[in-house]
Amino acid sequence: MKKLFKLFILALFVSAAGMAAAASDRGTAEEAVALVKKVIADMKKDGKEKVIQEVQTGSSRYKDRDLYIFISGMDGVTRANGNNPKIAGKNLNDVKDADGKYMGKERFEIARSKGQGWQDYRWPDPLTKEIHKKSTYLEKYEDLIVSCGIYKN
């Protein structure tokens, strides 16, 4: 009986350690907001173009685990994407998520009407490559929308 109990405790410990390790691979809502605010502060200090270039090249200053920055103009054209540089220069206003939602248009509307906020949609997770729910925090800064999202797996 003692041996069975010890095995149960060991299995419980291993399971909890695995969940903690998986959770540490994920950014939090607070970290996403902080990363957006850091990008905007750096733009004010170092200039927009310098920071946009750093985001576009995947600088570790603007990337943390599954958190990455993406920046678009108020015209819908992507200026930088820390996870997929190939998107830069493309207008994403007509791009739909996995459920058919026009994400770019919604993001623009949140930025235009509120200046900042959260947006929910479904998008490929950079860690698993599977489609998952994602919540993105965005802030309008001058003529740009600076965004960072968290995956809700």
Domain harbouring 60, CATH code = 3.30.450.20
Mean pLDDT, residues 38-59: 96
Q: What is the longest distance spanned by two Cα atoms in the chain?
A: 68
Mean of pLDDT values over 34-41? 98
Distance CA 67, CA 14 (A): 26
- Establish if 55 belongs to a structural domain: yes
Mean pLDDT, range 103-131, rounded to an integer: 93
pLDDT of residue 17: 36
CB 80 within 8 A of CB 70: yes
Distances (CA, A) of 64 to 52, 58, 95, 110: 17, 10, 25, 25
Do the domain assignments include residue 17? no
CB 98, CB 112: distance < 8 Å: no
For the segment 64-88, what is each residue's pLDDT rounded down to a tens digit?
999 999 999 999 999 999 999 999 9
Considering the entire predicted model, what is its pTM? 0.82
Domain tally, the chain: 1
Residue 36 domain-assigned (yes or no): yes
Burial of 34 per CB tally in 10 Å (0-12, 13-18, 19+): middle
For 89, the enclosing helix (H) or strand (E) is none
Answer whether residue 144 is part of any domain: yes
Angle between helical axes of 29-46 and 48-56 (0-180°, round to 10):
130
> Is 145 inside a domain boundary?
yes
Domain hosting 85: range is 28-152
Is residue 5 domain-resident? no
Q: Is residue 141 part of a domain?
A: yes
Q: Can you read off the two tokens belonging to residue 19?
A: 């969940």
Tokens linked to 9: 């405790």
In a domain, 16, yes or no: no
Q: What is the pLDDT of residue 1?
A: 54
